[in-house]
Amino acid sequence: MSPDKNLINTVKDLETNPVTSQQAQQFQQKKNDRRKEMLQDDSKE
């Protein structure tokens, strides 16, 4: 079984510390976009 994609992404997010609040917001937006893609992928199967 391959490691959970969400967990890997979370670890990567934790490793990158946002410098400004704008960067933090961009990280959050990317995370939300990934979540939406994951949910869409799940519903296709």
pLDDT at 4: 80
Residue with the larger pLDDT of the pair 3 and 40: 40
- Residue-wise pLDDT for 7-44, tens only, equals 777 777 777 676 788 888 888 899 899 999 988 887 76
pTM: 0.48
Count CB atoms within 10 A of the CB of residue 43: 7
pLDDT at 29: 93
pLDDT at 41: 81
Yes or no: say if 27 and 13 are a contact pair by the CB < 8 Å rule: yes
